[in-house]
Amino acid sequence: MKLYAIIISIILILTSITVKAQNYELGKVTVAELEETVHPKDSSAPAAILFKKAKTFFIYDIKNGFTANHVYEFKIKIYKKEGLSWANQKVKYYVGYENMNKDYLEFSNAFTYNIENKNIIKTKLDGQGVFKTNVNKYWNEKTITFPNVKVGSILEFKYILKSENIVNFPDFQCQYDVPVNYFQYKTEIPEFYIYKPLLIGYQNIASESKMVGGHQNFTNEYNQSRSFNYRQIDAVYSCKDIPALIEELYVDNLENYRISIRHELERVRLPEQPVKDYAQTWEGVATTIFKNENFGKQLNEKMFLTEDLNRILIDINSPEERLNVIFKFVQNKMNWDEKNDYYTDKGVKEAYKNQTGNVAEINFILINMLQFAGIKANPVLVSTIENGTPVYPTRTGFNYVIAAAEIDGKQILLDASHKFTSPDILPLNVLNWKGRLIKSDGSSEEINLVPATQSKENVMMIAKINNSGVLQGKIRNHKLDYDAYRFRIANANKSTGNYLEKLEEQLENAKISNYAVENIKTNVEKPVIEAFDFISENQCEIIGDKMFISPMLFFTTTKNYFNQEKRQMPVYFGYPSQEKLNINLEIPEGYSIEALPKPIQIVAENNGILYRFNINNEGNKIQIVCSTEINSSIFAADQYDGLKEIFQKIITSQGEKIILKKI
């Protein structure tokens, strides 16, 4: 199943299910709660949120109109020493508005509860436990540190966030790294504002909503008290027993699956004012972004590039060669300042002069050069993996931009901001489902960022075993495309000595000599090629007159990483891949082959995974060919059991032995 389809399937309009309200109030701490030593449903939990409650409501004043107020209440239990970190609570609030007052955040009702001789001891947070810091020009952060916290303590606190920003509510997070016994989120939204509630995650959230009367008192410009009535929608969202969100292997971004409730503003219909729609189309998003002077204007700055372009393109006529020359030139000349954005900061001229820029500046320079050289090129908006995935039209969902060039109807994706990328090889965190190609006329189209072709790793081994069971031979390893890129990122800046130490460990303490590697820092469009000799003394087990050898030697898969009973999240491999091993093994003189493992082929549904193992012999030579193809970058959680079974079969197959018998 495609990842985009998976996200769509987990973003659901909340269903109307009536749930009986329960009494969860601050200050109602009991002896039984304080004496509880383990969480009743998760004994491994270091802490738990006994309840989280929140309420969003609106207040009106004559100067600012309606503002949003978000009130949160928490009750937290500490079970283990590892849970003491919950004594520090941090909340960010936005201060970077251009046309609105900064958000306001205030903590209150913060207490630590302990039990001593069956008596409940209540300690209040004082002013020394509250800290305010400036994160950057857009965000401030407040921190509270609870006093007298120990294993067994219960913490309670409340805070209010006031904001003039009614377009974007803070996400209501329902799931944490510890269990949540109960949460409840109430909203009271005037009829003038139409929001679409969205659920992220896999838990069923109960909801109930109704239309009721609303009322506001305010002071007019003459300092007179006034009021007005209106209709409003009151909604309640709740759930019990939310399990801790556990880090799982092969996950793109954990935050994509954390249970939360979002509110997207679709329409404003204030009295005696025209209706304003906020639900955007992709074309609307593209047009808005292109109109910004830090985007569209920067894609029309080309004349300053003329001299360098004329110099590097002398006698180069084919579009493919021009693209490659321009890409390498920009990649080598420009240095990324480690800032992700789809808007320029200094502008392309200044960045080019300083040879340093953010992602937008570097890739806009690339696009301008390609266009000036007669190659069709456009920007592609991207949300990196750590930024999440925009599944509805939004400007704020993107944080990155790459280039798309088109030659003879074929689209080539490019990112010159990183040193080891090449045409159609992007940074790994950019392989995040879909991007949005936008053009100057405001049109746009969806671009698949996940590569359609396999990245490959081909290992060739020629080896022989002596009568003592020592294995000696040569290995040549070709890594292509994303496998090569991943290798470069991991190892290009390591010393050879450090790398070989880890490689010998991976090869079960084999001794490596005559190591050589090609194309690790240069010629990055070519495969990385490793070659070395090796000696291993622990690949054969000799019992009596027989030798027992694992056919895959130190490449044997012995651990199934898919070992959970239940999987919450999709399995993410990043990109399609193929690993192929070709082993030519010479057996020692005086031995014959008594038994060989059986060939096997395993095919997953829709050919998502294909595993082949073949083995045959001729004389004293054994040839083994084994390949594993992962043809999809992602598998849905409901395919997890199938994946687990496949990899267990692979382990079982590779566990069979070659048996040699002394003649």
- pLDDT of residue 22 exceeding 80: no
CA angle 507, 511, 516 (to 5 degrees): 85
User: Do 446 and 393 touch, CB atoms closer than 8 A?
Assistant: no
CA–CA separation, 492 and 498 (whole Å): 12
Q: Write a three-state SS string for 563-607.
A: CCCCCCCCEECCCCEEEEEEEEEECCCCEEEEECCCCEEEECHHH
- pLDDT tens per residue across span 519-578: 999 999 999 999 999 999 999 999 999 999 999 999 999 999 998 888 888 999 999 999
- Using CA atoms in the order 366, 367, 372, 373, what is the torsion angle rounded to 10 degrees? 70
Q: Which of 529, 530, 482, 538 minimizes the C-alpha distance to 505?
A: 538
Sheet holding 104-116, edge to edge: 119-124, 104-116, 154-163, 65-78, 47-61, 180-190, 225-242, 206-219
What phi and psi, each to the nearest 5 degrees, are found at residue 305? -95, -5
Tokens 């992962």 — which residue?
A: 630
Identify the pLDDT of residue 3.
40
**Nearest-angstrom CA–CA distance, 651 and 640:** 17
Residues 81-90, mean pLDDT to the nearest whole number:
97
How many angstroms separate the CA atoms of 125 and 148, rounded? 10
Res 196 pLDDT > 90: no
Q: Residue 386 in contact with residue 419, Cβ under 8 Å?
A: no
Give tens-digit pLDDT for 312-335: 999 998 999 999 999 999 999 999
Q: Is the pLDDT of residue 216 over 80?
A: yes
Q: Any residues with CB less than 8 A from the CB of 633 and at least 6 apart, and which?
A: 3, 431, 450, 572, 573, 574, 575, 576
Domains in the chain, CATH or no CATH each: 3-277 (2.60.40.3140), 282-448 (3.10.620.30), 455-662 (2.60.120.1130)
Sign of the torsion angle spanned by Cα atoms 443, 448, 453, 459: positive
The residue-averaged pLDDT of 344-368 equals: 97
Q: What is the pLDDT of residues 33-59, one digit of tens each?
A: 999 999 999 999 999 999 999 999 999
Query: Looking at residue 492, what DSSP letter applies?
Result: T
- Spatial contact of 309 and 374, defined as CB atoms under 8 Å apart: no
CA atoms of 146 and 128, how far apart (whole Å): 10
Provide the total of helices (H) and of strands (E) in the chain, helices listed first: 10, 36
pLDDT surpassing 50 at residue 16: no
Task: Report the residue count for the chain.
Answer: 663
Burial class (CB in 10 A: 0-12, 13-18, 19+), 19: middle
Which of 137-142's residues contact partners 24+ apart within 8 Å by CB, and which partners?
137/95, 137/96, 138/94, 138/95, 138/96, 139/92, 139/93, 139/94, 139/95, 139/96, 140/92, 140/93, 140/95, 140/102, 140/105, 141/90, 141/91, 141/92, 141/93, 142/90, 142/91, 142/93, 142/105, 142/107
Backbone phi, then psi, for 589, in 5-degree steps? -65, 145
Which CA distances in Å does 327 have to 15, 143, 419? 50, 46, 11
- Residue 15 makes CB contacts below 8 A (sequence gap 6+) with 204, 207
Per-residue pLDDT, 391: 67
Average predicted confidence (pLDDT) for the chain? 92
Q: Give the pLDDT mean for 93-100.
A: 87
The span from the CA of 365 to the CA of 381, in Å, is 16
* C-alpha span between 82 and 89 (Å, rounded): 15
Q: Pull the structure tokens for residue 603.
A: 């095919």
Mean pLDDT of 349-363: 98
Region 81-104: what's the mean pLDDT? 93
The predicted pLDDT at position 23 comes to 61
